[in-house]
Amino acid sequence: MAIKTKKFSRRSPLAAVIVVLAGLLVSGGGYMAATAAVTNTTKTEVSQATIDTGKKLFLANCASCHGKNAEGTANAPTLIGVGAASVDFQVGTGRMPAQASGPQVEVKAVQFKQEDIDALAAYVASLAPGPEVPTDSYLSQVGNVTHGGELFRINCAMCHNAVGAGGALTEGKYAPKLTNTSAKHIYEAMVTGPQNMPVFSNSNLSPADKSDIISYLQYVQKTPSIGGDELSNLGPVAEGLVAWLLVLGGIVVITIWLGAKSN
């Protein structure tokens, strides 16, 4: 006599548990991957002495606005989780420490030596994970200039101008020009999103895409315009205005002068 075996049913409670666990593993793994994509994959090892030095510099120069524990105050945001890249960008470009409040923090002369900036960045990075300062091996890569130009025009040109000349924004804010910005600070701006700029994590722009954009901007910085005077790269409106006022206006003046001379 044949013995009937109980087949495993897809509708059994055990199957439901397996499906839920699989869903949790997939969603959790995806979240971890997306979070890791925001930061640089290479974490810089720093000594405790460097972190302690950075904390002393922070308490002396930054705590009055950002709080003694970088928790933020009514005058400045928290720095917990911003990462070393944000500190290196803000302090390394002279934006911080800020001299006065306003629509936008102004660029000024850098106030610290690079070793002090590194110590400040190490201290802030020790508070919570965040974007790391890019390594030299990454910044030395030569990207695709053509592809970088396309990505820049799609993602950045509406604020920074098609060739990085900068432009005005609302409420007294502006997108700074990128004609003298270093590759490191361009990368840090993309991964930290300073002030009005959005954050471009590796899930938005891959490391290769970022390298292409940096290569494009460096090409623009080093290559003069083949079309003559760039007029500060203000765009076709400024060029058209000069054409009307100088070229066509000059033709009109010469025509009037020739007509008056013949009479």
Question: Is the same domain home to 120 and 143?
Answer: no
Question: Is the same domain home to 231 and 185?
Answer: yes
pLDDT band, very low/low/confident/very high, at 4 (cuts 50, 70, 90): low
pLDDT band, very low/low/confident/very high, at 130 (cuts 50, 70, 90): very high
Residue 218, domain member (yes or no): yes
Range of the domain at 214: 134-243
Question: Is the same domain home to 119 and 196?
Answer: no
Tens digits of per-residue pLDDT, 174-231? 899 998 899 999 999 999 999 889 999 888 899 999 999 999 999 988 887 655 666 6
pLDDT band, very low/low/confident/very high, at 33 (cuts 50, 70, 90): low
Number of domains in the chain: 2
pLDDT band, very low/low/confident/very high, at 240 (cuts 50, 70, 90): confident
Give one DSSP letter per residue of the chain, joined into a string.
-PPPP-PPPTTSHHHHHHHHHHHHHHHHHHHHHHHHHHS-SSPPP--HHHHHHHHHHHHHHTHHHH-TTS---SSS---TTSHHHHHHHHHHTT-SS-SS-SSSPPP----S-HHHHHHHHHHHHHHS--PPPPPHHHHT----HHHHHHHHHHHTHHHH-TTS--EE-STT-EEPP-SS--HHHHHHHHHH--TTPPP--TTTS-HHHHHHHHHHHHHHHHS--TTS--GGG--HHHHHHHIIIIIIHHHHHHHHHHHHHH-
Question: Is the same domain home to 177 and 97?
Answer: no
Residues of the chain with pLDDT > 70, as a percent, come to 78
Task: Please give the pLDDT value at position 24.
Answer: 66
Question: Is the same domain home to 101 and 147?
Answer: no
Question: Is the same domain home to 141 and 120?
Answer: no
Determine if the pTM surpasses 0.75.
Answer: no
Residue 263, domain member (yes or no): no
Residue 26, domain member (yes or no): no
Last residue of a domain, one of 102, 131, 160: 131
Residue 160, domain member (yes or no): yes
Mean pLDDT along residues 51-76: 92
Q: Which residue has the higher pLDDT, 132 or 231?
A: 132
Last residue of a domain, one of 92, 107, 131: 131
Q: Judge whether residue 47 has pLDDT over 50.
A: yes
pLDDT band, very low/low/confident/very high, at 41 (cuts 50, 70, 90): very low
Q: Judge whether residue 105 has pLDDT over 70.
A: yes
Task: Please give the pLDDT value at position 42.
Answer: 44
pLDDT band, very low/low/confident/very high, at 235 (cuts 50, 70, 90): low
Residue 3, domain member (yes or no): no
Question: Is the same domain home to 142 and 230?
Answer: yes
CATH code assigned at 146: 1.10.760.10
Last residue of a domain, one of 131, 153, 186: 131
Question: Is the same domain home to 99 and 121?
Answer: yes
